[in-house]
Structure 1
Amino acid sequence: MVRLEGVGKVFPATRKSSAVTALSSIDLSAPKGSITAIIGRSGAGKSTLIRLVNGLERPSSGRVLVDGEDIAQLPEDRLRHIRRSIGMIFQHFNLLSSRTVFDNIALPLEIGGMARKEIAERVTPLLELVGLADKRDRYPAELSGGQKQRVGIARALATRPKLLLSDEATSALDPETTQSVLELLKRINSELGLTILLITHEMEVVKSIADNVAVIDGGKIVERGSTFDVFTHPQHHTTKVLLSGVPGMQLPAYAQAHLSQERREGAEVVLRIVFSGPHATDPVLSRLTGELGVSLNILGGAVDEIAGKPFGTLFVSFLADEARLERVRSTLAGLNLTTEVLGYVA
């Protein structure tokens, strides 16, 4: 549905500032019917990228293809037509305070010249879809943050788009409301087959609903892949930093403070064990203690679900020479579990 090929974006110099390279050599694709997340720190280029996809900015180099059409090469009338097939939801809702819920959702249809009867036939089922049928005559000031975002989602769906762009759509919401909005987006993706391109810095959002993820840093894609693979085996430093706040992904701070890369007499090796797939719930610790006689100290860990797949991380320490350490790692590898030596603690 979306393909970026060698895309660059340079904002020219002004009297007050020099030229800024916002994006460089971006190659990215979002398959039809998928939820693809783009994550990165503030200023990494996420919002510029999404503005290229809906044609609000034009690339300085490369091609931006939406459903096979090169956005930058389209005349204005054709671009307006393509934009109707691209829905957009925003961080701060962008609702008109003087219009009711119904009329906010109807706005793009009115602009498109649709008759009032047809608008009612289009908007009414959308109100049902987002769970706001009883709020149709309310005004934004009477709604909660989650309800406002549901109005924004319904409005984005009013033109029956093929693609939905979400720019930090949940970052202004509390955790419980965020979860309800994410469940709605998943349902829309499943029932309508809608492709969703998600810009966010919230790893919990990505973990919950994204099929694929791309990590952007300094205007470049530094890592990409399935959400499960990127989260369970991050390769780039930026990815590891972004994931550091996800429970169970990092060694707890109290242990991190005493970690050393140098092995000393009497120190215990610290091992990170990654549980995934069919072995995510296996009784591994009892096997290590029973078969190998290894006495383990548990330093931390978590069992979770990433992109619908079970996943767990466990941090343990134990006294071991090189031979015993290799036996432990070999045993775990035989169970298709991956391990990483993080260092040593006294």
Structure 2
Amino acid sequence: MKIVVTGGLGFIGSHTVVELQEKGFEVVVVDDCSNSDEKVLDGIEAITGKRPLFEKLDLKERQRVEDFFSRHADVAGVIHFAASKAVGESVDKPLLYYENNIGSLVYVLKELCKQRRASFIFSSSCTVYGQGDEMPITEEAPIKEAESPYGNTKQIGEEIIRDTCNVNPGLNAIALRYFNPMGAHPSAQIGELPVGVPQNLVPFITQTGIGMREQLSVFGDDYPTPDGTCIRDYIYVVDLAKAHVVALERLLASKNRENYEVFNVGTGTGSSVLEAIQSFERVSGKKLNYKIVARRPGDITTAYADTTRANEVLGWKAKYTLDQAMKSAWEWEQKIRG
């Protein structure tokens, strides 16, 4: 079966391409390389022994999207990662985020609606919950007003998919709301490659550990948590990639109960910023240079997933510990700086 992975050269996308190829799927990667590198294809090939078909394509160009799907009319499913994803940048450039994240989604869905049957996996986010009222966060938790244009594009994206599924019975979709992806493939052939200053905690930790950054700032130690720092649900990227494949297989086998479903993807365990730092120190044997600074505007206190639905309905469960995921991130950092 041929599967299109948009944004397939990105962090989560590339790991998902690996898992798809190892399951025997034929993969077509679509990426505009605005926040990724074609060299990632080398890493995918080194792991799987097969180089996926790649098309450099900006999904904002509607005619080119139409042309692509006319040439790949035999596509069985699409996993849609392609999106701009920096929260801070989205605040500064909201129109760029709405055009890119919403426009590309609409154009892909329009093509899938032309097919008699289509399967679609959407890369969503726990940002749709904001600061949850209760922990752990279930899929029934209320959707809060987004803190950023980026978060809003995930909310709007889910609404667009739901509304489209309502009037297109041949379109079957699953939105995966994931928590905090981290780590790298155990082969150290692919991993997280942030452009510029990292937006996520773990690459900032590893870059500080290797000496690329002088110091890590911990934003606030006066939150109402056991050690005063924010708590997040850190999920290993390979576990997350496998969840996409399981979700896709659910749709392809017509096992879905509704034609639009939502699942949380996390570990179900919250870890604080200081616990993440301690994990790095354990697996690397290095002391990390960090400093407590003032809180950062917009940061929520605590977010971790209730994964019951994913475990029981989807048949997926995270297997890797924080230390195992952190060790893979550190090995990747050492390789790319070596």
TM over 0.5: no
So what's the TM-score if we normalise by structure 1? Answer: 0.26
Greater strand fraction, Structure 1 or Structure 2: 1
